[in-house]
Amino acid sequence: MENMRMQKHNSERGFSLMELTVATALGLLVMTAMASLFKSGMNSVMLVTQRAENQQDMRAAVDLMVKDLSLAGAGLPSGGIQLPLGGGVTPAKFGCDQSGTCHVVNYTYPGNYMYGIIPGYLNGVEGDAVIPAAPAPAVNDSVTVIYCDYNFPLWEYDVTFPLAPDGTEINFTVNSLYTANPPPAVNAAGGIQMGDLILINGTNGATAVGEVTNLSGNSITFANLDPLNMNHTGTSPTVTNNVYAVSGGVGYAFPLLVSTTTQGTAYRLYAVTYYITVPPAGQTPRLMRQVNGLTPVPVADDIINLQVAYDTYNSTTAALDANQANPIGVGESPNNIQKINLVVMGQSILNNGNKSQNMYLATDVSARNMAFRNVY
């Protein structure tokens, strides 16, 4: 009877040490595989999130740039505008704000001439700051485009000058065609503000650009020493292509006119500069958009590279020079730019173990308002 009890007890023994070791090892293998699978899934989610954020930023930037680039030269006289020339005149500026800060390194109009497009080869980072994440060699460009603003109907006003014009002031009166449904006041919301550029087409055939330094009702002042250095006023005929030339004042095309006589029409110009800035305190680079003499605004964060090249008609060879990074530097006129080729590189905002995702987005824009050449 005792032997039977012992046999029954022995038949209910537990796992051996070997069995427990094997089971534990198998369990650890399964758990490791599951952890690895989970980590791979999380990495994939992070990768997709990084790329989505990156792409969203770049698309927002490129969409806005394409809109501006496609309008380059719209409303400008054929070939652009010669800015003031003569004794004491220094080149006008772009990419600068009302504080006098210029956000690109080379900020003067080439030859003091306002083209519809101004390439900014190797001029794309404010203060020549270094962007470590940008691919070598470090090529970052800016680009400036100029076009007329057709949203605010400034042309529905007639431009007149005071009795003794010196180019420092113009007055606006509603054109008789629009008195029944008058345009908004010049200084209304969305209207003209200090730092804006005004293109004046005179009835004497002259054209000039001035920077607004003050507004009072429907009067605009163009004072000297403006931040963009556009205003070179005064009655001296040694200075040409200034606002005084449009007035028909003494020394110009026709005698002094009274203020009630129409002497031209006006449009607001947009001179838009795109560049990259590197904020202080370790913040990531961002793409900026600066208009006229106004304060720049950010377009997209984490843009680390901006490259712009141009398809340009070569007036010497009558051929198309494709992908010219620096057309002015090789002696070609910006007036002959046919297409703008744009490349933007972004870096993901989210960092996954310091493994940021970098992506390129490329497009090209036809400069339909520039000089047309049938070379394609």
> Across the chain, which distance is largest between two alpha carbons, in Å?
141
Alpha-carbon distance 117 to 272, whole Å? 10
123, 126, 132, 133: CA torsion to nearest 10: -80
Q: 317 Cβ partners below 8 Å, 6+ apart?
A: none
pLDDT at site 254: 42
Alpha-carbon distance 341 to 320, whole Å? 14
Alpha-carbon distance 373 to 337, whole Å? 9
Buried b / exposed e over 294-332, threshold 16 CB at 10 Å, is bebeebbbbbbbbbbbbbbbbeeeeebbeebbebbeeeb
Asked if residues 151 and 268 have their Cβ atoms less than 8 Å apart, the reply is no
pLDDT at site 14: 67
pLDDT at site 7: 52
pLDDT at site 353: 45
Residue type, 220: I
pLDDT at site 364: 94
Asked if residues 65 and 274 have their Cβ atoms less than 8 Å apart, the reply is yes
Structure tokens at 139: 């090529």
Alpha-carbon distance 168 to 149, whole Å? 22
Alpha-carbon distance 47 to 268, whole Å? 45
List per-residue pLDDT tens for the chain, 376 residues long: 455 555 555 555 666 777 778 778 887 888 887 777 767 766 665 666 666 677 778 888 999 999 999 999 999 998 899 999 988 899 999 999 999 999 999 999 999 999 999 999 999 999 999 888 888 888 999 999 999 999 999 999 999 888 778 889 999 999 999 999 999 999 998 899 999 999 999 888 889 999 999 999 899 999 999 999 999 887 777 888 999 888 876 555 444 444 456 688 999 999 999 999 998 877 889 999 999 999 999 999 889 999 999 999 887 888 889 999 999 999 999 999 999 999 999 887 655 445 677 888 999 999 888 865 555 4
pLDDT at site 280: 84
Alpha-carbon distance 326 to 349, whole Å? 31
